């Protein structure tokens, strides 16, 4: 069933595990995620980026996820990933999203507070949950040194101020991960997660989690991460399976036969992540 992001993340926060938030762009990925969630009896968040909304259209994304959620026995939230645009956030709320992210992290603290507070007021009035971000998560392609990188990590004082002044529901923090494939092994600042968790006592979100080793993921969850965003690992497993099938079967042109192996491969890695994050078996209704 479809529930709010807050309901899912408060349960994870209370019980000390993390829920996977998987990016959706088409029907096969929606089905891969819901099948993995049912297989592992896991609550799940399906999220659409601005790029996904541009590719598939907000109505298609919303309709596909709602059908998946209605048919499923596990709790499902529909979330806007990295929302930066006021009109688009309103459009998602009107289309039945149960959670939105307002990413004003590129702004200075005061501006971030102002923008986030405005979205929290509107979203909460509509019964929709809000994730915000502070610190700079960035991409793996950003060629910066370790010192420069640490300077972009979330400052606990700033995080506390953002939470207190806006009433947001969950917070994305910068602690050493980056979006996209990693060149080397990412080094996470686990003590920073602990400090922020102790100070805020709210659900925390880890972005750029594809390619982060299992041991680091588990440690991050122990320290207080409750939502783990995965996109690149889904893309890679889908791509690999589709290419392999197409190469081995050059005469097949039926899209169902070509994309089916991608859906199956994505389902398998998503189910593995759910077990790794500790959400397997945690569906409470």
Interface residue list for ligand G3H (CB under 6 A): 23, 49, 51-52, 81-82, 179, 231
Which one of 81, 155, 189, 233 is the catalytic residue? 81
| Residue 51 interacts with, from ligand G3H, ligand 13P, Zn ion, none (CB under 5-8 Å by kind) | ligand G3H
For 38, phi and psi rounded to 5 degrees? Answer: -70, -40
The nearer residue to ligand 13P, 207 or 267, going by C-beta atoms, is 207
Q: Are 208 and 180 in contact (CB under 8 A)?
A: yes
Residues 6+ apart with CB under 8 A from 84: 50, 102, 103, 104
C-alpha–C-alpha distance, residues 202 and 199, integer Å: 9
How near is the Cβ of 179 to ligand G3H at its closest, in Å? 5
| Residues 186, 140: Cα–Cα separation, whole Å | 10
Q: Which does 52 bind (CB under 5 to 8 A by kind): ligand 13P, Zn ion, ligand G3H, none?
A: ligand G3H
Q: How far is the CB of 212 from ligand 13P (least distance, A)?
A: 8
Q: How far is the CB of 105 from Zn ion (least distance, A)?
A: 10
Q: Is 110 a catalytic residue?
A: no
Residue 209 within binding range of ligand 13P, rule CB under 6 A: yes
Note the residues at the interface with Zn ion (CB under 5 A): 207, 229
Report, in Å, the least distance between residue 134 CB and ligand G3H: 16
Is position 208 an interface residue for ligand 13P (rule: CB under 6 A)?
yes
With 0-12 / 13-18 / 19 or more C-beta atoms within 10 angstroms meaning exposed / middle / buried, residue 145 is: exposed
Handedness of CA 266, 269, 271, 277 (dihedral sign): negative
**Residue with Cβ nearer ligand G3H (38 or 81):** 81
**Best CA proximity match to 114, nearest among 158, 76, 162, 82:** 162
- Whichever of 23 and 35 has its CB closer to Zn ion, that residue is 23
Backbone phi and psi for residue 187, each to the nearest 5 degrees, phi listed first? -110, 115
Are 199 and 171 contacting, i.e. CB atoms less than 8 angstroms apart? no
Residues near ligand 13P, by CB under 6 A:
23, 81-82, 179-180, 207-210, 229-232
Which residues are annotated as catalytic?
Answer: 81
């Amino acid at each position: 069933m479809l529930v709010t992001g807050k309901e899912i993340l408060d349960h994870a926060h209370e019980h000390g595990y993390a829920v996977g938030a998987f990016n959706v762009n088409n029907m096969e990925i929606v089905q891969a995620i819901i099948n993995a969630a049912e297989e592992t009896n896991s609550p799940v968040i399906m999220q659409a980026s601005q790029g996904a909304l541009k590719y598939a259209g907000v109505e298609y994304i919303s309709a596909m996820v709602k059908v998946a959620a209605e048919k499923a026995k596990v709790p499902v939230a529909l979330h806007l990933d990295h929302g930066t645009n006021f009109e688009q956030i309103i459009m998602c709320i009107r289309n039945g999203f149960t959670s939105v992210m307002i990413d004003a992290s590129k702004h200075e603290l005061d501006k971030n507070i102002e923008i986030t507070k405005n979205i929290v007021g509107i979203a909460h009035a509509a019964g929709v949950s809000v994730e915000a971000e502070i610190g700079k998560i960035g991409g793996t392609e950003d060629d910066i040194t370790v010192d420069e990188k640490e300077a972009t990590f979330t400052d606990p004082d700033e995080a506390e101020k953002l939470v207190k002044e806006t009433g947001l529901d969950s917070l994305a923090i910068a602690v050493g991960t980056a979006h996209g494939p990693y060149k080397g092994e990412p080094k996470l600042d686990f003590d920073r997660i602990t400090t922020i968790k102790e100070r805020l006592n709210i659900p925390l979100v880890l972005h750029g989690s594809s390619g982060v080793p299992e041991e680091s993921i588990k440690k991050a969850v122990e320290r207080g991460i409750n939502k783990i965003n995965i996109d690149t690992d889904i893309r890679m497993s889908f791509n690999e399976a589709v290419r392999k099938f197409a190469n081995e079967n050059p005469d097949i042109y039926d899209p169902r036969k070509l994309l089916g192996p991608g859906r199956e491969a994505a389902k398998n890695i998503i189910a593995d992540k759910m077990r790794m994050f500790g959400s397997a078996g945690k569906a409470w209704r």
